[in-house]
Every structure is written in structure tokens, then in C-alpha cells.
Amino acid sequence: DAGITQSPRHKVTETGTPVTLRCHQTENHRYMYWYRQDPGHGLRLIHYSYGVKDTDKGEVSDGYSVSRSKTEDFLLTLESATSSQTSVYFCAITLDRDYGYTFGSGTRLTVV
């Protein structure tokens, strides 16, 4: 999607290894979000950010950490990947409250 890029698009990693996913935006939007999408669970919020160095937990934050040192970048880290973290991860951005989100194209992560 224009203005928001996720990297990598696909990754296979081994259990116990650290993994970092990157979300980069060029829209200068304040709010950024990380979701995971799994069959039977839909989209679930992991962490979100409402500004540089301001982050908070979502409903499925265990095992994940985030950082936002610049407006344009929001990083999601799995400190020690587990098979239960195999999923498709989406980043989203929004300008302000009561605006729809713009989603990235997703990162498919497989933990073996």
C-alpha cells in the first residue's frame, strides 16, 4: 500500500531465535499498530504506538516487544520465537482518532 511498507514480506526462522519485523511509513501519521492474523481469530492487536517512544500493549502482547524511535518506523520484535507465533503480521497507520487505518501488505512469518 502506498505510504506504508513492511519488511520482510516472508521469513522462516527457527524456534528460539530473535526476529524483528519493520514497518515504515511516509505519511507522517501519528498512530501505528501491529496486528497478527490467524485462521479462526481474525485480526488481533499486538502493540500500538501513539507517537515517538510512546507505545502500549494490545490484547496479544505476550512474547512481543516494540520500539518507535522515529515517526516513520515501528519495529516489532519477537525476542525468542515460538511456533505459536507463526502468523501473518500486519502493520497499520492512522492520522488521528476516528480515522480508518491504512494497512501494509503483511509479513508472513513461519517459526519452525
Closer by beta carbon to another protein, 7 or else 37: 37
Q: Between 74 and 80, whose beta carbon lies closer to another protein?
A: 74
Candidates 45, 4, 54; CA nearest to 28 is: 4
* CB 11, min distance to another protein, A: 13
Could you tell me where the beta strands, DSSP code E, fall in 15-105?
A: 19-25, 31-38, 42-51, 54-57, 64-70, 73-78, 87-94, 102-103
Which of 73, 101 has the CB closer to another protein?
A: 101
Q: Say if CB 75 and CB 20 are below 8 A apart.
A: yes
Residues that bind another protein (CB under 8 A): 1, 31, 33, 37, 39-45, 48, 50, 58, 88, 90, 92, 94, 96-106, 108
